[in-house]
Amino acid sequence: MEMTTRTRKKTKAALKSLQPRCGDCVGFKCEKLIPDSKEVCSKADKTMTSSTCPHFIADVEPLKPLMKRDAFDALIAILQEVPTEGLRNLASLLYNEKKTRKAGFHFGQKVYVRYRGSASANYLSNFMIARIMSVTKEAIRLTSQDGKCNLTFFRETNEQHILSVDEFNELRVKMVRKGRLVDPDAERLLSKKLRCEEEYELGMTNESSGGQITTIDTVFKENKLPRKKGKKEVDLVDLVNGVMAGQNVEKQARSYRPRKDSGADFKIDVSGE
């Protein structure tokens, strides 16, 4: 009985893992991949949760719905352009995506973050635009459009201050209606319990004070925070978002150039309000 319980727990844990298993291989049910083998592995000594062998070839059956779309060609073009040294990083992002989706987010998702002011001070100037890198049970990792600015927030205290586009648009309407564009307290910083794990003291930017919603890039620049150095061969956040939107981004993948604009939100016009 004890062995049965232990086996069930092991099987359950294996199924939850994103590491490839024998069940993900074409040799499990369809093809005979192992030399001198007279049958597929499922009829031999392998189970769906068995560890893979050197003959592993991924079964693309779950991807067939995507392969019928034009965006799949763009995805292929992106993969061809990812530097060899960047493949492990891309694999890591995909590996973490299951946890990120379970938390209600997805890689590259545009979000609005309360980065300054008090927890209840709903002014446009107190929010910035960022992208989701990954989410775990403990933390939310945010990045900039070019991947050079990164912040980590504890989920327990900050999740309600990191808003999706739809969530923020509802709040935006209320703020604009009340004329709450720029926080009159330009010096107040976010309380320490809501601050990013890196404990940066993030002050208002020129964009914020001018009635725009700023970006994480501008916040880093004007607060003189360190950005990752080095030219990025492929902007994965930008390109993956394009693929998911069904755009043909093959040309982008082949010759990406960093954006010249700041990417800030549009300036709010409250005339006639």
Query: What pLDDT shows up at residue 158?
Result: 87
Q: How many CB atoms lie within 10 A of CB 94?
A: 11
Query: What pLDDT shows up at residue 58?
Result: 79
Q: 176 pLDDT exceeds 70?
A: yes
CA dihedral angle for residue 193, residue 199, residue 203, residue 208, rounded to 10 degrees: -70
pLDDT band (50, 70, 90) for residue 12: low
Q: 211 pLDDT exceeds 90?
A: no
- pLDDT tens for 83-120 read 888 888 777 778 788 889 999 999 999 999 999 998 88
Determine the straight-line distance between the first and last CA of the chain, rounded to whole angstroms.
Answer: 71
Q: How many CB atoms lie within 10 A of CB 144?
A: 24
pLDDT band (50, 70, 90) for residue 256: very low
Query: What pLDDT shows up at residue 262?
Result: 45
Which sign, positive or negative, has the C-alpha torsion 63, 96, 116, 130?
Answer: negative
| Two structure tokens written together for 64 | 């067939």
User: Percentage of the chain surpassing pLDDT 90?
Assistant: 32
Query: What pLDDT shows up at residue 18?
Result: 59
Query: What pLDDT shows up at residue 174?
Result: 95
pLDDT band (50, 70, 90) for residue 212: confident
What's the pTM?
Answer: 0.68
pLDDT band (50, 70, 90) for residue 35: confident
Reference 161, options 196, 119, 203, 131; nearest CA is 119
Alpha-carbon distances of 175 from 124, 168, 268, 271, rounded to whole Å: 7, 10, 11, 14
